[in-house]
Amino acid sequence: MTTTTGHDVPAIELTVARRQLVLFVVVLSSAVYNAATFTATAILPQMQGAMAATQDEISWVVTFNILATAVVTPMTGWLVASFGRRNVMFWSLAGFTLASLLCGLARGLDDLVLWRVLQGAAGAPMLPLGQTLILDVFPRHQHPKAIAIFGMANTAGPIIGPMLAGVLSDYYGWRWGFYMIVPVALLATIGARLILPQDDSRRPTSLDWTGFLSLSIAIAAMQIILARGQRLDWFESTEIIVATFIGVVAFYLFVVHSLTARKPFLDLRILLDRNFAIGLLLVGMFGMVNFTPMVLLPPLLQAHLGYTDRLIGLMVGWRGVGVAAGFFLVMMMGRLDPRVTMIIGFGVQILSGLWLMAITLDADFATFALNAFLQGTAVGLIWAPIATTAFWTLPAASRAEATSVFHLTRNIASSFFISICVAEVVRATGANYSRLVENVTPYSKQLLLGPAMSGWNVETLSGLASLSKEINRQAALIAYTNVFYIYTLISLTAIPLALLVRRAQSR
């Protein structure tokens, strides 16, 4: 064992070599978890084709995974207190590895969504627990270096995962996007069992099951409404009406119980802190604009521009490079007020949205790659300042509770907004197609150009098919532009909110 003195003594004293091994396990776990998240977005188009799914149906692969992560993340503290750090990390990794394998073996969309839910739920404790382990086993003076390495792993996964998945899925099919995760996750699982220190300070505590279940039911009901509403014609469907009723009742029970229970699942009283309340609004907006382009762009690129899975994977990978660049810029601008850095980040996000709104179906790969890089840079610039300012004025005793609510809000906002955007793309594409075909007649000037206009005409089946395909492409582009407009507007709305954050008082 190492010996350290004063305030620099780590919570768990290990040899230097053992600390490095713990860091390796945590970094590997973090990298494979983040790789899995972004890999799924890169292979969405191929999964959609293989399962004959619509765009709104295949988006469930991402949204329900995020939702499962959101629900289970606040349970991390209770799990650690009841079962210990090493056990929770080991079983999280084991469940994540098994779920990744089952995702690759899925026979249909229902199976895949189920295993993605398990993957998100099992992996949810890995990131917060990994960060806690690093802070516990390293002396305080080594925290910045260890956390920096941990942060690099969080950006390496989104870069390497999608690129490798794109190549493998091009040659062997979409299943290999999940299979490639298994050996790395298995190595991390074995490492967690053999290397992580045993936690002997368990303090079994009760979980507020009423609060947990009511919140889970409310979130699940809302996700079902958003995911299936467009397909079932919203409140014309009995299923949507029943889901709405269940969701409203469950959410009412959650709020009432949380405000009256002695030890609620989530203490809503922390919302009385102004900075934290504004921080939740900001992180919700951040969640909305974070994953949405990565769910929308791959289907657009494959279905309407003919991009291969390899190129889509490279595009998603460039976003990961942008995230790394954003984190680097945050470190370089460390002396700036975090509110200024946050505003700059949302400004970059606005630029990326305006660029997407102006993109045509003739845009080349470099355009989408550079835009993805810009999106990632914005994410890197925004995340750290939001996480800092939200907790500026919050008492230290409330931080653990607040962290759970903070991450819960981000994930829920991301999942819900993706569903809303996909529903809008499906709705607007159909509506725009109907309007555009009204302007196509045998006397349209464009049709008189014949071969020069890709053989469009209304007199042959091949000409009609070609014309219909082009009208559908243009209708889809208008629909995507509508969503990118909303994306840009949300980023713009976040800027005045950032100005309302109070500066922490020096003590």
Rounded to 5°, the CA angle 358-361-363 comes to 70
**Residue 247: CB partners within 8 Å, gap ≥ 6?**
217, 218, 221, 222, 225
DSSP 8-class letter at 75: G
Domain boundaries in the chain?
Answer: 1-198, 208-264, 270-437+454-507
In 3D space, the residue among 421, 167, 124 whose CA is nearest the CA of residue 291 turns out to be: 421
State residue 3's pLDDT score. 42
Residue written as token pair 């969504």: 113
Q: What is the pLDDT of residue 1?
A: 42
Q: Do the beta carbons of residue 14 and residue 1 sit within 8 Å?
A: yes
Contact (Cβ atoms closer than 8 angstroms) between residue 181 and residue 99:
no
Say how far apart CA 262 and CA 260 lie, in whole Å: 7
Q: What is the 3-state secondary structure (H, E, C) of 181-209?
A: HHHHHHHHHHHHHHHCCCCCCCCCCCCCH
Alpha carbon distance 361, 310 (integer Å): 19
Cα(106)–Cα(172) distance, integer angstroms: 15
Q: Tokens 């890169």 map to which residue?
A: 42
What is the phi/psi pair of residue 5, to 5°? -130, 165
Q: State the Rg of the chain over Cα.
A: 24
Same fold, 1-198 and 270-437+454-507: yes
**pLDDT value of residue 4:** 46
Query: Considering all CA atoms of the chain, what is the largest pairwise distance in Å, rounded to the nearest integer?
Result: 88
**Cα separation, 265 vs 76, whole angstroms:** 12
Fold of 1-198: Growth Hormone; Chain: A; (1.20.1250)
Sequence-distant (6+) residues with CB within 8 A of 347 are: 495
- DSSP letter for 503, please: P
Tokens 């190129």, residue located: 311
Mind giving me the DSSP string for 207-274?
A: --HHHHHHHHHHHHHHHHHHHHTTTTTGGGSHHHHHHHHHHHHHHHHHHHHHHH-SS-SS-GGGGGSH
Question: 376: closest CA among 318, 421, 329, 418?
Answer: 318
DSSP letter, residue 11: S
> Residue-wise pLDDT tens for the chain (507 aa)?
444 444 556 657 667 788 888 888 888 888 888 888 778 877 888 888 888 888 778 888 888 888 888 888 888 878 887 888 888 889 999 999 999 999 999 988 889 999 999 999 998 888 878 877 877 787 777 766 676 677 666 667 777 777 788 788 878 888 998 999 999 999 999 998 988 887 765 666 777 888 888 988 988 888 888 877 877 778 888 888 998 999 999 999 999 998 888 888 777 888 888 888 898 899 899 988 887 888 888 888 887 888 887 888 888 888 888 888 888 888 787 677 888 888 999 999 999 999 999 988 888 889 999 999 999 899 888 887 887 788 777 776 676 677 778 878 888 888 888 888 888 888 888 888 888 887 776 666 666 555 545 556 666 677 677 777 878 888 889 999 999 999 999 999 999 998 888 776 544
d(CA 291, CA 287): 7
Residue with tokens 């069992």: 193
Q: Report d(CA 281, CA 275) in Å as an integer.
A: 10
Q: How far apart are CA 298 and CA 311, in angstroms?
A: 10
Q: Which two tokens stand for residue 380?
A: 């890197």
* Domain 270-437+454-507, CATH: 1.20.1250.20
Tokens of 374: 């810009």
- Predicted structure pTM score: 0.78
CA 227 to each of CA 57, 60, 479: distance values in angstroms, whole numbers, following the listed order: 8, 7, 17
Q: φ and ψ at 236, to 5 degrees?
A: -80, -10
Judged on CB neighbours under 10 Å (0-12, 13-18, 19+), 6 is exposed
Secondary structure letter of residue 4 according to DSSP? -
Closest CA to 293 of 388, 372, 180: 372
For residue 159, give the H/E element and its range.
Answer: helix 143-172
Q: What is the pLDDT of residue 151?
A: 67
Closest CA to 28 of 121, 101, 96, 105: 96
Answer for the pair 425, 296: CB distance below 8 angstroms, yes or no: yes
